[in-house]
Amino acid sequence: MNIILLGPPGAGKGTQARLLVERRGMVQLSTGDMLRAAKDSGTEMGKKVADVMARGDLVTDDIVIGLIEEHLRSADDDTGFIFDGFPRTLGQADALGDLLGRVGRRLDAVIAMEVNDEALVERITARSTCGNCGEVYNDITKPIPEDGKCSVCGASDFKRRSDDNEDSLKQRLLEYYKKTSPLIGYYHAKGDLHWVPGLGEIEEVASGIARVLDNL
Ligand code: AP5
Ligand code: MG
């Protein structure tokens, strides 16, 4: 099963993708995580995208399509992919359709996560991530355990993202409404779109997604 998690910054795409990896053995493909890894390891591409990401703008289609193609071709398991933060433009959506066709896979569902902007600001400004395994925490809704160790891997190095500030978030939201939200109509027209309420507790959102996937 191959699915897209579609939603604005802070909608909970990464949080839900990690639960699907844990519970269904699917493979998470997050272009944001791939770009941050390139930035941290100092590759030429990483240097090129660092400022763009910090400002909250979108990276060019050719870079992210290249990253997804690389991962799709190298993955050999059959449990299915979760596209997290990709596609984000109509060009990327067309490219994903072509790529899946070429590797003999199909898209099963697009899960659109329904949230509101106030919740996003609150969620993003309180977020931190384990620097070792990427588990996502939140000062208010999912605090780092009291012993200061990640509940998944035990590491004690937590990071805040450089684009998790109010200015970048404003720009990320603008980019979302201008370039990514048209994908809702695109996938609705193809019959692939499923809305899931994203404002409840993490487990409630997970149940909403599970209901969609179990009824495909
Ligand atoms: P990316 O990393 O994809 O960021 P994003 O889309 O802005 O989304 P986030 O990762 O911020 O949010 P999320 O939905 O994953 O939420 P999370 O689960 O963490 O992209 C970053 C940048 O990279 C882009 O701005 C762009 O520059 C570039 N980029 C990436 N992909 C690209 C592409 N395809 N094309 C072009 N450029 C690209 O949750 C957020 C917080 O809320 C956490 O603290 C979490 O604990 C908490 N939370 C989650 N669920 C709940 C809940 N139900 N209740 C309460 N709290 C919750
Ligand atoms: Mg994310």
| Model confidence, pTM | 0.96
State the average pLDDT over residues 40-68.
96
Pocket test for ligand 1, best of 136, 160, 166 (most atoms within 8 A of CB): 136
Residue 110: phi, psi to the nearest 5? -115, 115
Query: What's residue 77's pLDDT?
Result: 66
The SS3 call for residue 68 is: helix
Burial track 70-108 (b if 16+ CB lie within 10 A, e otherwise): eebeeeeeeebbbbbbbbbbeebbebbeeebeeeeeebe
CA of 85 to the centre of ligand 1 (A): 7
Query: What's residue 74's pLDDT?
Result: 81
Quote the CA–CA distance of 172 and 208 in Å, as a whole number: 26
pLDDT at 15 over 80: yes
Quote the CA–CA distance of 35 and 56 in Å, as a whole number: 13
Query: What's residue 62's pLDDT?
Result: 97
Q: HEC string of 12-32?
A: CHHHHHHHHHHHHCCEEEEHH
**pLDDT, tens only, 120-176:** 998 999 999 999 999 999 999 999 999 999 999 999 999 999 999 989 999 999 999
Helix (H) or strand (E) segment spanning residue 193? strand 193-197
pLDDT at 76 over 90: no
Question: CB-based burial of residue 9 (10 Å sphere; 0-12 exposed, 13-18 middle, 19+ buried)?
Answer: buried
Ligand 1 pocket (Cβ < 6 Å) reads: 7, 9-15, 31-32, 35, 52-53, 56-59, 64, 85-86, 88, 92, 123-124, 126-127, 136-138, 141-142, 163, 172, 201-202, 205
Closest listed residue to residue 36, CA positions, set 114, 122, 113, 134: 134
State the average pLDDT over residues 25-53.
95
pLDDT at 75 over 80: no
**pLDDT, tens only, 183-193:** 999 999 999 99
